[in-house]
Structure 1
Amino acid sequence: MRIFGREPVYILAFIAIVLKLSSAYGLEVTNEQQGAIMAVLSLVVAAVNALVLRNGAAGAAIVNLAQGALALFLAFGLHMAAEQQALWMMAVEGAVALVLHREVTAPVSVLPVEQRSSVKPAPPQAV
């Protein structure tokens, strides 16, 4: 996958360099905040890859992106109790399950026993 004709890794590296240069010249961003920004950007690329490549990992990528976004907000000063964080993540996971449930199938083959009923119907009776 390419973004603006470049591999996402190169774009992420460029953004990291820009962040470090900006903080060196006055942008008030801590090392923890820079790490959180880069983690979220990496998760965005992973989510886009999962959606574009259709490899079945879209749900996991979206949940991980939500976790990264929550970590980013916390790194920038959001005060939220652990219980509230867990409830937000459960809401995201529930929404992903609701949306993607119809589109996901198990990667296992169907067994012959699953294709027929174990209860035989009674033969029709004459009146």
Structure 2
Amino acid sequence: MKVFGREPVVVLNTLSAVLGLIVSLGVTSLTAEQAGAIVAVVSAVLGGIAAAMTRPVAPQAFTAIVASGATAVAAFGFEVGQETVGAVNTLVLAVLTLLTRVQVSPAPPSAPTGPQSV
């Protein structure tokens, strides 16, 4: 399955990174906590969708968890601005997408989503 001629994981992670960039540029008038919460939730949701669309699930799920966690830590664990929150999210997503890309492949539409009983 392709989305805009690309693999869904690449498209979803790019979309998440673009949203992080929008936040980091200060296009919105959000506080750092609000921006961090939005970016973390969007990263988690899009990462979950991407994980469901790939096999094996673990590398993409790891990417989503780390990206969301890093964003949440940057927003709530440190006194940083929304620019830093967006930058952390974008950097983590870019690096992990490049590292895990060789370990996953698109799942066929009829691929099972859970363990198979024998």
TM-score, shorter chain, exceeding 0.5: no
Higher gyration radius (CA)? 1
Identify the structure with bigger relative contact order (alpha carbons < 8 Å, sequence gap 6+): 2
TM range (shorter): 0.3 to 0.5
| TM, length-normalised to structure 2 | 0.36
* TM-score for both structures, normalised by structure 1: 0.34
